[in-house]
Structure 1
Amino acid sequence: MLETSARLLRLLSLLQAHRDWSGADLADRLGVTPRTVRRDVDRLRELGYPVNASPGTGGGYQLGAGAELPPLLLDDDEAVAVAVGLRTAAGQGIEGIGETSVRALAKLEQVLPNRLRRRVSALNAFTVPMLRGPGPSAVDPAVLTELANACRDSERLRFEYLDHGGSPTRRTVEPHRLVCTEHRWYLVAWDVDRDDWRTFRVDRITPRPPHGPRCPPRTPPADDLAAYVSRGVSTGAYAAQAVVRLLVPLAEAAGRISPSAGTLEAEGEDSCVLRTGAASLDVMVIHVMLMGFEFEVLEPAALTEAIGAAHGRLARALERTPGESPRTGDGTGRTPGTGGGSGMV
């Protein structure tokens, strides 16, 4: 059994991690009796944590927003500074901390008093960060927080979604997880109307509350959701798909190829396999060439043919481009006075 102080911290963490708990569930998690849970809840209230309770068989405990900031956490100014910092980190897509920032922001905003929420909103509304430009795929941190809460609470989510052509559609989903890359956020969710898993770009989502009801969690479409989303946005969404061997180590390729551009698999010390997609095979040729690595096409064979056609066009363009060397009458470009055009004597 946990000591009282450690148990209180564990209880607080459980209340922050989920919207509501039954007394029996909390007692089971903490290894104590329901009576001890009730006493611990009273202790949290004495410390300033607003724990709400509802009676009856369907009742339970819920951590609410307080009239004053609970002690042992942050004072008002510190809470505002942390909330603004988390919103900035989430909105700017800073590598490695974006998803963590959203989770922390969701917990913090859950207990912020209204007066502090207004201060945070004002600071964000009237502050212009001189960082990387937001770009067309910028995401409102408030939307991220709303989606994160819906995922946490296993609550049906309703929103308006813009498709690739910019046409709005209404969606009802059972949200599962948020997945982020350096530049974009995605929501993995079960689409109720289409009866299948879907991946949505968060910058195209406009929530349309009210949300709910609660729904039982589903088995996710893959154990590795990051790889699942990467395959979907870099390969599955395109008409042309290819598998290419890059003749560089995996770490070198990963430093230049983002998860939204393709998925990488280690093959050996000096090579790796790239799976990627593009709108057409001609675009695929450019896509692979611009990566800047030596490569071999594994599939499809049509990509090899497209590379050959592009090679021919480039070669003919070079022949038509005036060079520094004088050209022979037959157009071969050999240097006069040489037999093979190598320039060697």
Structure 2
Amino acid sequence: MRYIEDDLTNKTILITGGAGFIGSNLALYFQENHPAAKIVVLDSFRSGETLSNGNLKSFGHFKNLIGFRGEIISGDINDKDLLLDLEINYKFDYIFHEAAISDTTALEQDLMIKTNVNAYKDLLDLAVAHDANMIYASSAATYGNAESPQRVGREAPNNVYGFSKLSMDNLSRQYMETSDISIVGLRYFNVYGAGEYFKNSTASMILQFGHQLLSGKNPRLFENSDKILRDFIYVGDIIQANIKAMKPKESGIYNVGTGKARSFQDIVDILQKELGTSFECEYIPNPFIGSYQFHTEADITTTKEALGYEPAYEMEDGIKAYVGEIKRIYESEVK
């Protein structure tokens, strides 16, 4: 499905974090729907390097890009020589910035700020130099435990990841005032869909519950999971928002969710229906009470107005579209 009718022939698009979850979906979207555009993927790709919490520093994986025929650059956005090379030897029309330290449990505040904030400023300078529109990944983590529905301007981040994304948004507003390029920040809520498996333990509970069920295990949920609500959004709607952000009515920071909160119990019930299973749920105490969001719901009023965004997938639709990939990943990577 094409979300804009613009002819992108001879346009050059940079996607940072292009071997990650969202970035790879964007790269493949452009290849399929705008084959005359030149797509450049930049990703640090994964190595054995881990953060202090034991999680990988980079989740980028070549398997997310199987079938992609554009240019691929392995590199770190913190590398100023690399960014200078991009400025001198390329001419970008659009930059989709998805690269980040995205682990919300990461404790390395220095690395988080350096990667998510300082390197983003360098990329903004690149966008200005190239007169390229910037579309970047912000996050619902900027809201912390703010009351629902979450609205731009009511931020209260409770971890350094959320703080770094809010800092990106504040920096973006400064550039909006002083530059002529379009800048759009998209605050993703709980995203799920193809390409997330290589996020390992940070992949969505939709994928994790799906694999529990396929392995014949009873799904394990926190107690009162029918009262723990999140705005879960299918990756297809994330791609729609990114593409429509190429031509916004105005620069700004916008929520990208469905505008509806659904429970973890809903996830398991829908998955059981789609997979044809009927395992009994096991309920365990929630060890994160006090530091856990019990309700997220995106206010997407301004997103609809400025971007023409309209979510196309209810959770039932998203899981139905995703279940074939959940099975494929289980057979090829898990089983």
TM beyond 0.5? no
TM-score of the aligned structures, taking structure 2 as reference length:
0.26
TM-score for the superposition, normalised by structure 1: 0.26
Bigger relative contact order (CA 8 A; separation at least 6): 2
Identify, as 1 or 2, the structure richer in strand. Answer: 1
* Structure whose alpha-carbon radius of gyration is higher: 1
